[in-house]
Amino acid sequence: MAFSELIGQSYAKERLGVPLVGEPGHAFLLSGPSGIGKKTLGREFAKGLLCSHPTKEGGCGTCSNCIYMREKTHPDYRELLLPAGEKNIKVADVRSRILSDVGILSQIAERKVYLIDADGLAEEGQNALLKTLEEPPKHVVFILTVSDESKLLPTILSRTVSVRLVPNTEEEVKKHLLTKNPDMLEEEASLYARFSGGIIGYAEKLMETTWLTDAWDTLMDMILQLPTISRAELLSTRYNYFYEESDHFPELLALMNMIFDEMAVLLADPTSENLHGETKKDKMISMMKRNKMTVGKIGKCSMVLTTAAKAHKANGNFEILVCRMLLALKKESMNG
Ligand SMILES: [Zn+2]
């Protein structure tokens, strides 16, 4: 695997590619939100730093250094991560795993590389590391990862070359999910990508449960039934669903928006493909025909959702805002 096999992050990859073919310096800081792939990129960068024939694209993948890295047995590479369930990395571990090791020469590569999860370093741990960061042995490179830069001491920040990872595009997240999960349906990948905020780790977390796809199905059924469902049922069973899922209300609104978007797409072109609602396509088309829905009416439904979102953000009464929303959606989706 080289940089090119990691999807997205073209800016960060370009920045990290340059030192691989020059003099790399001693400390890099990869920053960006949790789940964005800092450690994955950091490991690829480390492989490039240890590789016998690196290019701007990372490690060659075939030299003994790259093979040791792939097998996770490279003697000149160490990671210091936050142990599961712990709040901080112990200062004793910073000393024993890093500080007492940096003075020892590398065994097979030209240098030694340490990947450190700086989110796990409290001030004491950072201070312990600081002296070595200030005067690092010639053969050592540190790669720090952090999601919250403000928790790092200014002296740590000033000693490191900072490379920021930015959220990927929806298309990049989707491509990543489909590459990693060949059995996944394209429309399913789109749904997770849409909700990931461009963060691959978050998309993968969403995939661990069926919440998102279940909610999509429930809301799709509700929207299809809007013209015919009685007000009483709308305000009881359907309201109850929103009440039970009230912690996820913004997500529910986003899902409904997606459904209305797909309806608008279908209205413009009934043969459209790759919709998440592919299996409900015929039902959506016939519901819209029967109720003479237009793009204008669908636009009004989206506005109803925006109003609900605003009221919710302003801490409006949940029952009132949801019931208003449901009744308004019903009104807009009915014939006439
Ligand atoms: Zn190599």
Distance 65 CA to ligand 1 centre (A): 6
Distance 176 CA to ligand 1 centre (A): 24
Distance 61 CA to ligand 1 centre (A): 5
Alpha-helical runs (H) found in the chain: 10-20, 38-50, 64-70, 91-93, 123-134, 154-159, 170-180, 186-195, 200-207, 211-225, 231-233, 239-244, 249-268, 281-290, 295-313, 318-333
Residue 123 and residue 120: Cα distance in Å, rounded?
Answer: 10
Distance 205 CA to ligand 1 centre (A): 32
> Average pLDDT of 76-94?
94
Residue 318 and residue 295: Cα distance in Å, rounded?
Answer: 28
Angle 69-72-77 from CA coordinates, rounded to 5°: 65
Q: Which residue has the tokens 């299809």?
A: 224
Overall size of the chain counted in residues: 336
Local structure of 79: helix, strand or coil: strand
Distance 70 CA to ligand 1 centre (A): 10
Single-letter amino acid, residue 112: K
Per-residue confidence (pLDDT) for residue 312, from 0 to 100? 96
pLDDT tens digits for range 224-254: 999 999 999 999 999 999 999 999 999 999 9
Per-residue confidence (pLDDT) for residue 1, from 0 to 100? 58
Distance 37 CA to ligand 1 centre (A): 22
* 336 pLDDT higher than 80: no
Contacts 24+ apart (CB under 8 A), 267-273: 267/293, 267/294, 267/295, 267/298, 268/295
Distance 222 CA to ligand 1 centre (A): 55
* 335 pLDDT higher than 90: no
> Average pLDDT of 129-147?
94
What burial class does residue 166 get, using C-beta atoms within 10 Å of its C-beta: 0-12 exposed, 13-18 middle, 19+ buried?
middle
* 186 pLDDT higher than 90: no
Distance 62 CA to ligand 1 centre (A): 5
Distance 161 CA to ligand 1 centre (A): 23
Residue 224 and residue 289: Cα distance in Å, rounded?
Answer: 12
Distance 53 CA to ligand 1 centre (A): 5
Distance 3 CA to ligand 1 centre (A): 13
* Residue 272: other Cβ atoms inside 10 A: 13
Single-letter amino acid, residue 42: G
Distance 60 CA to ligand 1 centre (A): 4
Distance 157 CA to ligand 1 centre (A): 30
pLDDT tens digits for range 17-65: 999 998 888 999 999 998 999 999 999 999 999 999 999 999 999 999 9
Q: Structural domain boundaries of the chain?
A: 3-166, 209-333
Residue 8 and residue 312: Cα distance in Å, rounded?
Answer: 34
- CATH superfamily of the 3-166 domain: P-loop containing nucleotide triphosphate hydrolases (3.40.50.300)
Residue 138 and residue 77: Cα distance in Å, rounded?
Answer: 15
Per-residue confidence (pLDDT) for residue 73, from 0 to 100? 96
Q: H-helix or E-strand containing 116? A: strand 112-117
